[in-house]
Amino acid sequence: MDLALTDEQRAVRQAFAAVFAKESAPPRVREVEAVGFDPQLWSTVHGMGAIDVGIPLAWGGGGGGLLELCLIAEEAGRRVAPIPFAGSAAAARLCVEVGAGDLVASILDGSQLVSMTTRQLAFSNQLLADGAVADVMLALEGDRLVANYRPVGIRTKPNLGGLPAARWEPDHQEELAAGPEAVYAYERACDAVRLLRAAELVGLAAEAIEIGASYARERRAFGTPIGTFQAVAHPLADAVTANDGAQLLVYKAAWALEENLPVGPRLATMAFVFAAEVSSSAAQHSLHIHGGYGFTEEYDIQLYYRRAKAWVTAVGDPKRELLTLADRLFGPVE
Amino acid sequence: MDFREPAHWADIRAEAQQFVADHVTHEMIAEELKTGDGVSRPLMRALGNRGWIVPTWPKDEGGAGLDAFDASVLMSTIRASGAPTIGPGTTTLPANAIRTLGSAELQAAILPDVAAGETLICLGYTEPEGGSDIFACKTRAERDGDQWRINGQKMFTTFAHRADYCFLLTRTDPQSVGPAGLTMFLVPMATAGIEFQAVRTLGYERTNIVYYSDVWVDDSFRIGEADGGLAVIRAALEAEQNVAPTSRTSQLAEAATRWASTTRTSDGRLVIDDPLHRQRLARLAIDAEVTELLGLRTAYIDQLGGKPGPLAALFGPETYVSWASEMLDMVGPDGLVPWTEPDAALDGAFEYHYRSAVATTIYGGTSEVLRSLIAEQRLGLPRSRPKH
């Protein structure tokens, strides 16, 4: 039993926290919002090994694991960084899992951005959350895991969350694997996407809470800082408490999946569902603390409020995930 | 990070379960449900024999030399049996305060008997008009030579009628208000001038109002400095709020899942196969897991000598209350029948949880007080309660 990060893990967290704080500050996030992607930031964090760290040493990666990826995701979420981290980090590991060597090489050298979809709809019917910037989107068709290549000339579809989303028919397609093993690998990768998304949401919620708390410390009404009002302070206390729980769930799920424990998948689902709830209500309350200002574009809290919802919707419906969780906990229905 | 349970926890649980099998009888549990005292003297002695009243104390002080983690695994296993542990559990709070802040004489007189399970100490903090504002204390102690004369009234002194001592908060400086001018005493309950009045609760627990009329206490029973009681009670309160919580969210989740997996609806389907109930139980499982994780982290930080804050003490009880309610919706009218009736669903577990859960968000600091502490300590928000 050890709930502490290693020195290396702390160093990873600090390094990425510093970069995101500097290069994903609110003005920059706003600047690229229409595209939903900051190529410069992507190139910086890719160069720091953000994706490599999740790839085994034998494949030329950094030999880290899901926990390291979760720490990076958390820091990205804290600054609502406009990069498709969860999808691409999980897709890279899926490529390794099915032995797609060329794709892994292109991910490592940065020549292609590879992401994946977690929605089980027909590919061309769905809005692909990372579709405007991913060169390749992995998807499951029946029991075939396929790589769909993006055609040229695709632009970001305007959306609530500033996601680099788009809808397209593949330019061409390549089958990476087929059969039960392909399905299994894809499902584990979907667990990884939702887990990394949960980590991003934990970071998002932590910063949303801090934005609200800092406003409540400064803003005065009725002759006193509004943080002295319990109706303002107490929901923030609930939020920070629940978000600590979400963070622990994320870490435990990352550990369990990495160790291949049977509880891994259920913990990943728990982390996603819980972080989705917590980040949504935290961002909502923090916005509300700002009163009318919270409704204006000028205040940063709205960036968090919109993403708290969009980042969830992009990868799953929490209530449906509860049914998945039930299957994982109680077994399928008789 | 490693969330794996240390291998020896299974041994601790097995040992605790063997202890329960040997010492916790059906009669003891039935007696507890009837009286609500939270005390069984034979159980206390049996715990004391093993060093389990104060499991984290060294063996030569009558403890078991366990670390905070091991102790919490041990005690939660014993608590889960339904054994009356409120009395000995509460006793450890003043005992720890005496162990760090009491005089050598008082330590020698009290602590060995506490560890042996012979001594029971109740808490005299709250007053009828005080509630969460314990520093509004009006109970007076006046010095007269080597003696103190105490007059006042305390509320919610659970197991006062069974206790040997009360860890009593008094005001010794009549000019003072708020947290200044207070003094803590360990008052022998056999002293003349102490009277109780039973207060029945809705959660099968009995508590008491205690009246102190010209109660004379020797100065040797003072803990800490005269007028310096704040340091003593603060240590005891922080210990209470920073311990892993006694929320039974996980117990409720287990019970409800067991019931739903073995009960069929009128159309012959298992309750747990109904999508509505599956969603409920899966969501409850998340809150149970988070409760356990926050509790685990509390023990972990405590172990490292840090102050984890009352996050676990807020989350566990709050979720316990809301799920105790929702599980009755799921079980339906059968869940309303208490343990005394043979046809009660799962031996009346759901009725019991609904009754008793609500107290867990009140004692040891109401959720409102805990939220204020978290807002101040974690988020740096200004103090919201008026200063005295």
And the tokens for B14?
A: 């097995």
Q: Is the separation of the CB atoms in A308 and A205 below 8 Å? A: yes
Q: Which of residues 199-258 of A touch B (CB under 8 A)?
A: 209-210, 213, 216-217, 224-225, 227-230, 233-234, 236-238, 240-242, 244-246, 248-249, 251-252, 255-256
Mean pLDDT across chain A? 97
Intervals of chain B under pLDDT 70: 241-246, 388
For residue A146, the distance in angstroms to the closest alpha carbon of chain B comes to 32
Residues 6+ apart with CB under 8 A from B306: none
State the Cα–Cα distance between residues B158 and B172, nearest whole angstrom. Answer: 24
State the Cα–Cα distance between residues B251 and A27, nearest whole angstrom. Answer: 48
And the tokens for A8?
A: 């290396």
What's the number of CA atoms in the CB half-sphere (13 Å) around residue B321? Answer: 13
Full-model pTM: 0.95
pLDDT of res. B120: 98
For residue A159, the distance in angstroms to the closest alpha carbon of chain B comes to 30
Pairwise CB contact (< 8 Å): B286 & A274: yes
Chain B residues whose CB is inside 8 A of the A330 CB are 257, 261, 272, 278, 281-282
Residues 6+ apart with CB under 8 A from A82: A24, A28, A29, A32, A33, A35, A36, A37, A38, A41, A162, A164
pLDDT digits (tens, 9 = 90+) for B308-362: 889 999 999 999 999 999 999 999 999 999 999 999 999 999 999 999 999 999 9
State the Cα–Cα distance between residues A12 and A22, nearest whole angstrom. Answer: 16
pLDDT of res. B241: 65
For chain A, percent helix, then strand, then coil, each to nearest 5?
A: 60, 10, 30
**Maximum separation of any 2 CA atoms in chain B, in Å:** 78
pLDDT digits (tens, 9 = 90+) for A121-162: 788 889 999 999 999 999 999 999 999 999 999 999 999 999
State the Cα–Cα distance between residues A141 and A130, nearest whole angstrom. Answer: 18
pLDDT digits (tens, 9 = 90+) for A319-333: 999 999 999 999 999
State the Cα–Cα distance between residues A306 and B235, nearest whole angstrom. Answer: 44
Closest partner residue to B297 (CB to CB) among A3, A217, A228 is A3
Residue of B nearest to A246 (CA): B290
pLDDT digits (tens, 9 = 90+) for A277-291: 999 999 999 999 999
State the Cα–Cα distance between residues B333 and A5, nearest whole angstrom. Answer: 48
Q: Pick from A277, A243, A197: which is nearest to B379 by CA?
A: A243
A207 pLDDT exceeds 90? yes
Pairing of strands A114-116, B194-200: unpaired
Q: Is the separation of the CB atoms in B208 and B157 below 8 Å? A: yes
| H helices present in chain B, as ranges | 8-23, 26-35, 41-50, 68-80, 86-101, 104-115, 229-242, 249-262, 275-303, 311-331, 349-360, 367-379
Q: Which amino acid is at B313?
A: A
Q: Pick from B199, B126, B130: which is nearest to B167 by CA?
A: B126
A69 pLDDT exceeds 60? yes
Pairwise CB contact (< 8 Å): A234 & B372: yes
Total number of residues shown for chain A? 334
Q: Which of residues 31-70 of A touch B (CB under 8 A)?
A: 67
Other residues' Cβ atoms within 10 Å of the Cβ of residue A183: 16
Chain A residues whose CB is inside 8 A of the B272 CB are 330
Pairwise CB contact (< 8 Å): B314 & A244: no
Chain A residues whose CB is inside 8 A of the B318 CB are 238
Say how many Å lie between the first and final Cα of chain B, rounded.
44
Mutation to test the A interface, candidates B12, B257, B289, most A Cβ within 10 Å? B289
And the tokens for B24?
A: 């916790």
Residues 6+ apart with CB under 8 A from B236: B93, B94, B96, B97, B167
And the tokens for B61?
A: 């002080």
Pairwise CB contact (< 8 Å): B371 & A238: yes
Kindly tell me the burial class for residue A120, based on how many C-beta atoms sit within 10 Å of its own C-beta (0-12, 13-18, 19 or more): exposed
Q: Is the separation of the CB atoms in B253 and B284 below 8 Å? A: yes
Question: What is this model's ipTM?
Answer: 0.97
State the Cα–Cα distance between residues A293 and A297, nearest whole angstrom. Answer: 8
Beta bridge partners of B141: B150
Q: Is the separation of the CB atoms in B88 and B53 below 8 Å? A: yes
State the Cα–Cα distance between residues B65 and B115, nearest whole angstrom. Answer: 12
